[in-house]
Structure 1
Amino acid sequence: MLELQSNAISTLANNQIPGTNTWVAIINWLNDFIQPIEKDYDMVFLDANPSFSMYTQIAIATSTKMVLPVMADDSSRRAIQNAFSLVYGLKLPSEIYSKYAFAEKLKEVDMPLPKVYMILKNRLTQYMGAASAYATVLQEIDKDVLSLLKTYTDMFAFKTLDMGIIDVRDFQTTGVVSAARGCPLRKLKSGRLGLMGKRVMVREEYRQNCIDNVETIVTRMSKEL
């Protein structure tokens, strides 16, 4: 359904209507929805699709800060690089694309881009030690981000890697059970729990690790409120 809607949205955004910038009108849909109620909330989270479809662009244009999750694989490294190309117009394959870049379109109508607020190294496990291949990939991601941070400081909401990158352990079974049961991690009990007709073990140590990870992220965000 979302992909069908995306096609319709893209078609609307590309319509040529005299005196109307249809792309801007569409890109502001969420802004128009949130502005009347923004004083009722401290923070609004927009969960965007990894693809750079029209509805992802709407979410990014509405945001002031952006959280980028990465995992210990080359696809995540490429995804980070692609994010900076697609969102900020960096390292485009040709100048021809600059005119049509997302960043350039927002610049033309004086709309700001969100700053990279946090990079989450997601789904880390005990097997990703310093000597592992996983660690090597994560270190390369650090190098890529550091290089961008030094060159394009204004695109980031943090000044050092330690301030912006957070390690997040893999929630594994605990996260699956919590999500499937619709039960917050703090209220989730440890031990064997029923899930879709089966008994699943949730270890207290793992549950507490999940809570600690969430609290680290929330604490970092709360400093800005």
Structure 2
Amino acid sequence: MITYAIWNNKGGTGKTSLAFQTISRFAELNSDKRVLVIDMCPQANLSEILLGGQEGGGSKNLLMCQGQLPRCSIGGYFDIRLPAPFSSPDFEANSFITTPHSYNPSIPTNIDLICGDPLLELQAIAMNTLANADLPGVNAWLGVIDWLKDFLNKVDYDYVFIDTNPSFSMYTQIALAASQRVVLPVMADDSSRRAIQNAFSLIYGLKLPSEVYAKYTFAKKLNDAVRELPKIHLIIKNRLTQYMGAASAYHAVLTGIDSDVTALIKQYPQYFNFTAVKKGTVGVRDFGTTGIVSFARGCAFSTMPTGKLTISGHRVQVKPDYRDQSLEAIDKVVSKLI
């Protein structure tokens, strides 16, 4: 089982939209593989898209899943962990898994989903309290941080993709601790350049503002438990200009990002699955209207029709060449996942 976390501490990097397109295409091109998607974001936007999007009743379908007993969501699973936080109880994993294709025929049949849940925010308060408990002979933090790992030990999939919240909250740390590889989407701007440095501080405890933080870091706690940290597998430079690509005004920022990553690889090669920037980065152009229509219909680029389509009662035009360019960009991302 290979597990990816799609994460950036900075919001607005197109993480969820990239996750939807990339996972859908990956599953389509690897139809013999079983794929599990875990939506670890309280907004549950990825779940809503997979379950039909705006036009296909995705919101209603998501509420139906969350309304089951037990809740068919990540929140439902965490509910059963709260009373038994430090040892995995006996549970039926399938109670928390749904198959998006049964709601949305556009989604490949080999994708299963653990829906996102707004309960995560409330549960995070309890998680933090439990993780900081001082109990004799019990590593309380590790007991909580392994909740998702415990779940994955109960299921059989070839690939797991975890869409995360743009934060470093407890549930995000749970996702990262269960992952082997990190996909890091960034924008072509200075704040994303800083976000790469921040990501390394948060995951690996590097370049901290003060040594006083060192003993509290995610990396220190996992290392003390003799656990491996996830590695940066791919950096996606997202939303380059549609027509000019990287040769636009963003070029200087992109060059700076490449320089920063090169320096990090040289200094900390153990945290990367690639040895050179070109091997571990990919540029993705702005999807524009094509992306908006795709997400609204819950339909990935490879199966999305073109021409005049109706969205929220309005007719919009999706040009075939724009759709094909968007699909080509996603194929480049998918090619770097294995």
- Range of TM-score over shorter length: over 0.9
- Aligned-pair identity in percent equals 53
| Counterpart position of 1:3 | 121
| Counterpart position of 1:19 | 137
Amino acid at match of 2:253: V
Is 1:221 equivalent to 2:337 in the alignment?
Answer: yes
| 1-structure distance, mates of 2:334, 2:307 | 26
| Counterpart position of 1:145 | 261
| Counterpart position of 1:130 | 247
Determine if contact 2:234/2:336 at 8 Å carries over to the other structure: no
Determine if contact 2:308/2:316 at 8 Å carries over to the other structure: yes
Is 1:32 equivalent to 2:161 in the alignment?
Answer: no
Segments of 4+ moved more than 3 angstroms = 127-131
RMSD of Structure 2 on Structure 1 (CA): 1.3
| SS of equivalent to 1:189 | coil
How many correspondences in the alignment?
Answer: 219
- Aligned-pair CA distance for 1:17: 2.1
TM-score by length of 2: 0.63
| Counterpart position of 1:68 | 184
Instruction: Output one character per residue of 1:116-160: Cα deviation in whole Å (capped at 9) or x when no partner.
Output: 00000011113455361x211111111110000111111100011
Residue 194 of structure 2 is aligned with which of 44, 69, 78?
78
TM-score by length of 1: 0.93
- Aligned-pair CA distance for 1:16: 1.9
Gaps of 5+ in 2: 1-117
Q: Which moved more, 1:153-162 or 1:13-22?
A: 13-22
Residue 275 of structure 2 is aligned with which of 159, 162, 171?
159
- Aligned-pair CA distance for 1:216: 1.4
Determine if contact 2:240/2:246 at 8 Å carries over to the other structure: no
Determine if contact 2:205/2:219 at 8 Å carries over to the other structure: yes
- Aligned-pair CA distance for 1:7: 1.7
Q: How does 1:73-112 map to 2 (within 5 A)?
A: 73-112=189-228
| 1-structure distance, mates of 2:325, 2:135 | 54
Gaps of 5+ in 1: none
| 2-structure distance, mates of 1:73, 1:27 | 32
| Counterpart position of 2:82 | none
| SS of equivalent to 1:201 | strand
Q: Which moved more, 1:120-129 or 1:41-50?
A: 120-129
Instruction: Output one character per residue of 1:169-198: Cα deviation in whole Å (capped at 9) or x when no partner.
Output: 111111111111111211111111001111
Is 1:211 equivalent to 2:321 in the alignment?
Answer: no
| 2-structure distance, mates of 1:27, 1:129 | 39
The alpha-carbon distance between structure 1 residues 81 and 48, as it changes in their structure 2 partners (threshold 3 A), is same
Amino acid at match of 2:122: L
| SS of equivalent to 1:10 | helix
Is 1:51 equivalent to 2:133 in the alignment?
Answer: no
More contact order relative to length (CA 8 Å, sep ≥ 6): 2
| Counterpart position of 1:120 | 236
Q: Which moved more, 1:123-132 or 1:157-166?
A: 123-132
